[in-house]
Amino acid sequence: MKAWMLGLISLLPMSNVAHANRVALLGSVQLEDQRDYERIYLPPCDQSPNNRIDYIQFSVSNYPVHISAVNLTFGNGETHNLNVNGVFYPREATRWFNLDRGTRERCVRMIEVWGRARIPGDYSRQKAGIHFYGY
């Protein structure tokens, strides 16, 4: 029993490495310093990097952003709203959102984002980036 447990415990660090190797950038959008709406269209299902996605997260670059909604549309036509209303800062990533709802059709076809960048001063040409990752 002890040997079996030691073997299992020794494999745990490898599970994080496997997880890190499976994370793929799904796409990015840029938000302006006004109410903005952007979409990311992903390639057809079963084409890299758009395989079955069980978890999704996003990170922010350049400037803080206020995200009011993120909607996902799946390959089977279902939609899902991520509960993310709030302010996110550069180099900050959200938690991983679990998309596994007991169906095998967890291929994301479109990501919709509503929000605005929080850019100080008069930098109307500046934008904040939002980068979506999945595994």
The range of the structural domain enclosing residue 91 comes to 24-134
Residue 13 lies in a domain: no
Distance CA 47, CA 32 (A): 31
User: From the centroid of its chain, how far is CA 79?
Assistant: 15
Q: In this structure, how many other beta carbons lie within 10 angstroms of the beta carbon of residue 4?
A: 8
- 102 domain residue, yes or no: yes
Of the candidates 134, 132, 135, the one whose C-alpha atom is nearest the C-alpha of residue 60 is: 132
Residue 9, pLDDT score: 44
Q: Is residue 9 part of a domain?
A: no
Q: What is the rounded radius of gyration, in angstroms, for the C-alpha atoms of the chain? A: 18
- d(C-alpha 104, C-alpha 134), whole Å: 16
Residue 8 lies in a domain: no
Mean pLDDT in consecutive groups of 10 residues from the start of the chain, 135 residues: 44 44 88 88 77 89 94 89 93 90 73 91 78 93
The token pair that represents 84 in the structure block: 């993310």
Q: What is the per-residue pLDDT for 61?
A: 95
CATH number of the structural domain spanning residue 45? 2.60.120
With respect to residue 28, please indicate whether it lies within any of the assigned structural domains. yes
Question: What whole-number distance in Å separates Cα of residue 31 and Cα of residue 29?
Answer: 7
